[in-house]
Structure 1
């Protein structure tokens, strides 16, 4: 691997590690940072990058991605922002009119929990006719299909949307058909290239087909521009055990770009389908199963599958959105002495912030969701909204945060997540529960996979940006964020849209836009 020298870079202080006051040079050798200091000698280094005073920081990770779903969703009907079923049908009809040749039409992004009524198959039929149309909700926990799409995958006629497990099974059928009509691998390459252009150096892949199976074959076709930690689901644990894979092991011998990730368990539902499992009923309109949501498996079943994962050397990533689901997952972590993460940790019980910390678990959270979910939260969880996306409370309790997107639920763009966590708002909106905001430095540290300020010995997974991500004028007075002031709006845009000039993974260029 060729040595590389970055000259004249300002280091961004990350994770509380101080940075030099003046620009420095950074030598990369053998895939790691070999030296850091002013005016390093460039003798023998053929590849020299002039940073010209830009800011250098550790590469960014997305700790929760469904990359193939995200790649394909980028080219499907965008239903985000639709206000009711009629609005969705109008957008779908316009798409069908513009693309008459599509054999299976897929859309993504509606959020029905905020609607005054639920969608029906009949109204989608009226807008689509005989062409199969399948629409996925923005949280990926329910799907609205027309009659032709239901028939295509062998589903019986029904009145409304498919929810949770029924929807996941239907989605797998739809994806199998879509794969024969689309080019998912080409779409994945484009999506990961776009992620690298935003400074992403790694993702945790939670694709439903147990991603650990699929990545070795992809590597044969070419090196991805990001590191991959590929998760498994419970139905593949026997195969993981037979392969002798443990969390952190290379999926391909001698290759550190692809590693085995955790076991993923979806223990409850979501807020937008009113299936997140809560200690108290949804209010005022209620959810299913007595209005408190539901669990997808019993406490005993959760402990059993986590114990089995531990026996073969996998850590656990437990999807838990409602506070009862979080508490039950923490009980299971305690009983099984397992390590890992709570995925989402959207609503946490008051007593469970400290339990999360005491168990040494990571809260793998998706800050952009708070912008998407604020209206639904205020409708159904308004009596507990101070505990929703409670990043300040988690950090104050000593819980480590890992930021992600859950793409396609939110775009795979870590700067959007960082801005959402800091400002608790999008564009000119008023901040939502600003008491749970965290600082830019804390948000950045939650996005770098535990890596601190660039230093000798660190993996050369590095990002060069055109401006200082920590230089936010409105935060000199935290009260300025409470009124959506012009200064705060400018700072939100600064973080969300921060230009990335260079991304390196192991010293290899995966994105470059230097001028």
Structure 2
């Protein structure tokens, strides 16, 4: 454990009043042991001068796909593609430039395109170069025939969706190698997260599980706190190791711990596979007019039952309102504990049920910036029930924020700003009745920690600006949050970032 003393830091009042004048903060053995003016510095304790900067508990990203986010920097960026032709042009250019390298694209939003795509048209611009274009929501991929064969999938003329794609993703390294997810690459990603004040994250990657994280930890990825989730495919391994949520994966190190069982119970908005109570606005084009669940009710309850009796929390992906309702019914029936991940469209009664059951809402506010226009088009007036953060807080739901990186950037300040303003451009707030205050989004970003006080973990972020600075409007408050700069970050008192 590390020790330090921070001189003259202004304590941000996260959950209780704090002194108005700067304080010294002493951290020993990973915890805050004293707060006050002009504290004595014990021998051998590092001294850091905060010079009146603002001190908060360190930030958490509660939903990250760490390997995919790490890989994104080396992928073909298709976020700007407005049509299949735009994407095909970018692929043609990349193949011409690097004909011997596979093309891995990321970020296109085909739900906004006017037609479906085909494998044959991708074959026509790529030849023998494998091409995998992953949608911006991560729920489907457009592959050419060479890539389909390489990843041992049946040849077809359409995209690969949902469960079939999730299973294939784990084989992608056989096509592109592991350079993008090496320990060195992971460390760069973690360094960048620390520079934004992040001290911990929940990793929902389709990974190699416990052995892979143990290896990366030993190779320099022991920077932040990590909760490692497992999927059903890795559940037997986790259970055979006797791991329960919160148990250290490295004995004696409480920074890398077992997280929840992750279940993907429905699809996504972009693919029209999120399971809804009513049909989509363009249901006439869909095989399943209201989307569909990925598991039957019995299958979902059995997974929750196994996890609960084995001491694991459950993180259930549920985007459509029908999926949210079924997930909550499954929690109620089994007694399982954990979260609804995304909860993108909800009914008010289900929000109240979430609060009654003590199930967290793990949400990603930056998604509303990307999904605003599509939601209005295909869910219509139901958009009033989307990203319903105000309902959640008012009804007593434990709300936590994340990014779902790489679907949105691993950037807690972007997430907070999106929840405060609910607009990413010059337009008015989208359903501003669900907007939150800067204090509310900060509370939802610190993993339940309150104002820095004696007994707090030494997981701290020192800011150049007051995140709760008074603003004339939500738009101004959001702009201020996006401009906050982090001077230093500590995990258990250990420095993980410094711009001092």
Q: Any idea what SS the aligned residue of 1:173 has?
A: coil
Q: Choose 83-92 or 295-304, whichever is displaced more.
A: 83-92
What CA RMSD, in Å, does the superposition of the two structures yield over aligned residues?
Answer: 1.6
Q: Choose 416-425 or 465-474, whichever is displaced more.
A: 465-474
Report how far residue 166 of structure 1 moved: 1.6
Name the structure 1 match of 2:467: 469
d(CA) in 2 for partners of 1:203 and 1:171? 21
Report how far residue 129 of structure 1 moved: 2.4
Report how far residue 289 of structure 1 moved: 4.4
Contact 1:64–1:405 (8 Å) recurs in 2: yes
Report how far residue 351 of structure 1 moved: 1.3
Any gaps of 5 or more consecutive residues in structure 2?
Answer: none
Distance 1:266 1:18, change over 3 A: same
d(CA) in 2 for partners of 1:147 and 1:331? 42
Q: Any idea what SS the aligned residue of 2:489 has?
A: strand
Contact 1:134–1:149 (8 Å) recurs in 2: yes
Give the 5 Å matches for 1:9-408: 9-14=9-14, 16-102=15-101, 104-180=102-178, 182=180, 184-209=182-207, 211-286=209-284, 288-408=286-406
Contact 2:70–2:181 (8 Å) recurs in 1: no
Contact 1:121–1:147 (8 Å) recurs in 2: yes
d(CA) in 1 for partners of 2:361 and 2:110? 27
Q: Any idea what SS the aligned residue of 1:7 has?
A: strand
Q: Deviations over 1:470-497 (max 9, x none)?
A: 114123xxxxx4xxxxxx3x54332123
Report how far residue 284 of structure 1 moved: 3.5
Tell me whether 1:505 sits opposite 2:498 in the alignment. Answer: no
Report how far residue 504 of structure 1 moved: 0.3
Contact 1:72–1:184 (8 Å) recurs in 2: no
Report how far residue 81 of structure 1 moved: 2.7
Name the structure 2 match of 1:485: none
TM-score (norm 1): 0.94
Q: Any idea what SS the aligned residue of 2:348 has?
A: coil
Any gaps of 5 or more consecutive residues in structure 1?
Answer: 476-480, 482-487
d(CA) in 1 for partners of 2:472 and 2:93? 42
Contact 1:72–1:188 (8 Å) recurs in 2: no
Q: Any idea what SS the aligned residue of 1:330 has?
A: helix
Report how far residue 93 of structure 1 moved: 2.5
Contact 2:3–2:494 (8 Å) recurs in 1: no
d(CA) in 1 for partners of 2:243 and 2:143? 38
Q: Any idea what SS the aligned residue of 1:134 has?
A: strand
Report how far residue 188 of structure 1 moved: 1.4
Q: Deviations over 1:28-48 (max 9, x none)?
A: 110111111112122525411
Distance 1:210 1:266, change over 3 A: farther
For these two proteins, the number of residue pairs brought into alignment is 500
